[in-house]
Every structure is written in C-alpha cells, then in structure tokens.
Amino acid sequence: MLSLSERVAAYRRAPVVYRRELPLLCLIYLFLARFAAHDLRPEHLLAAGLAFGLGFFSDGSRKLARVGLPFILWVSVYDSMRWYADAIRSPLIHIHEPYDFDLRFFGIAGQTPNEWLQKHTANVLDFVCGLSYTPFFFVGESILLAIWMQFHGMERRAQRFAWVFVIANFVGFSFYYIYPAAPPWYVAEHGFLLDLSVRASPAGTVRFDQLVGMPIMQGFYSKSADVFGAIPSLHIVYPFLALVYSIQLRRFRIVALAYWLLVCFSAVYLNHHYVLDLFAGLAIAITVSLAFRAAFGPLGAPNPVAAAGTIPAGEPA
C-alpha cells in the first residue's frame, strides 16, 4: 500500500494528460455548473472527483482511466444538455412523422407497434423488459466489458470500444437537436399538439416500478435531458456495440446478442421508441464503428490472453 507521498511522487511521473489537462477539465466543468448554469449538484462533484481520482490514485487507476474517462465524459455531456437544449434545438419538432412512418411500414391492425403492444401487456414482460431497460444493465454491460477487456490483454479493443461508445452518443445527441422528435409515449399522453412544457416520462417502465414497489424508472427517466430526443434510440446502440466488440468472446456473445434483441423489443414495448428509432440508432452505431476503423485501422493486433479457451489468439481485422 503506497503512502500519500509515494502516490504524489508517482503522480508527478504520470503522463501530462493526467497531471494538467484532466484536472483543468474537471475545474472547468465544475465552474460551468456553478457559475454558468447555476446548477451545481452532488453528481457533478462526484463525476469530477472520480475523473481526477482515476488520474491521481495509482498506475492501475490510470490504466482504468483509459476506458473509464470516456464514460465519465459521456455522462457529463448528457447531463449538461439540460443547460442549453432549448437554445440549440431546431424549432421544428417532429411529432407526426415518426408515428406515420411506423404506422405505414410496421403497422399492426391499423396501429403502430407501440399502440398494439400497450394493449397486450403482461406482468412477466413488464418485469423482464423493465429490468433490461434499467441503466444498471444497458450501461453497466458496456462499462464492465470495457474494463474486462482493458485488464485482459485487449487494451486497444477496450479503448476503441469506449471511444466508439462515446462518439456514437455524441452523434446521437446532435440528432436530438437537428431533428427533434417526440417519442411514442408523448403521442399517447398528449396527442399531436406541441407542448414544450411537458416533462420526461418513464412511460411503460412505470409498470416495472409498480411490480417491484420502488420508483426506480420514475427517478431515472424523469431526469431525462430532453423530451424530444427519440431519434435515434441510443438504448439499442449500447448493447449492439457491446455485441460487436465482444464477438470473439464465445461464452459472452450469445448472451450479448440475446440482450440486444431484448432491449430492441423493450424499447418499443415500453413505449419509449418507435421501430424507426431503432434503425436510426443501429445506423449510427455501424457508421461510427466503420469511421473509427477507417481512421485508426482494424483491430488486428494479437491477443496474448486465451481466457480458458474463450478468446482466440488474435482479434479479427
């Protein structure tokens, strides 16, 4: 166990990004939250403290920071969107178009898939779909996978995955403001009239809350940064990227595939997204992955870890 003086000495030898750029970014983030947005909250202090702590604590924490910091950046940017969403959003909010698209191409008995599924709910589906839609799973899967790869001989793959995850999110966020679109729950609750005062809703996930007797989804989805951010569905992007970047893990890929398909179904069943939103999210995930491949080359470096025979000797191109 290193003493504080030993940790400080090791920190002074760390790359400059941990000694200068990272502390400066943390300070700027807290400054903006406090004095620009007037919205400094405990989670902002936690994010900045965690980021700085990873860079300071040890060589091991700095190794973890290589995949951890992109996720902290993602959370920070998403949270900050509430500060400027109204200022940068296109004035044209699309309410009818996504609904009409799904009704035309995926309609069931004259209803959108969302409308049809809301009339055919079941407790078991409410529980399974709600559980799959909790952030502990759809975000936790990606974070744990990145950390596992980082410490099991696949550092390049882990870091590529983390940054593709983040950039795919940023591209998705930009579409929220270029093409703001109402989710299906908005149409179900408010019709096709625009009401900018509407707050985010847990929609069908409230049925999960009722089953478990705790407002888990209510607490999470009521804090959504933007009501009109339905296209693309980033919920399905996370497990899809986890599937793509873990495809060589034979014991995991079947679970990853099943989970991705479950999230796709849950997004529609829980009335959070249209089918159109899923295809838009899938297109962004594939495009960003291919862009990273074109810019930084294929992930073809040999993998020195066999992990009980579940990982091949090399990663695919």
Mean pLDDT by 10 residues, the chain (317 residues): 81 88 92 86 91 91 94 91 88 97 97 98 97 90 95 94 97 96 96 92 94 91 82 96 92 93 97 98 98 91 41 38
CA distance 64 to 4: 20
Q: Residue 179: how many CA atoms within 13 Å on its side-chain side?
A: 13
pLDDT of residue 309: 36
Domain map of the chain by residue range?
Answer: 1-86, 89-317
Sort residue 222 into left (φ over 0), alpha (ψ -120 to 50) or beta. alpha
CA distance 75 to 140: 13
pLDDT of residue 66: 94
pLDDT of residue 114: 98
CA distance 200 to 221: 7
pLDDT of residue 301: 46
pTM: 0.88
CA distance 280 to 216: 27
Return the SS3 of 230. Answer: coil
pLDDT of residue 300: 67
CA distance 69 to 18: 11
Look at the block and give the residue holding tokens 């990272």: 22
Give, as one character, the DSSP assignment of residue 17.
Answer: I
Token pair of 25, please? 């970014």
Return the SS3 of 79. Answer: helix
CA distance 291 to 287: 6
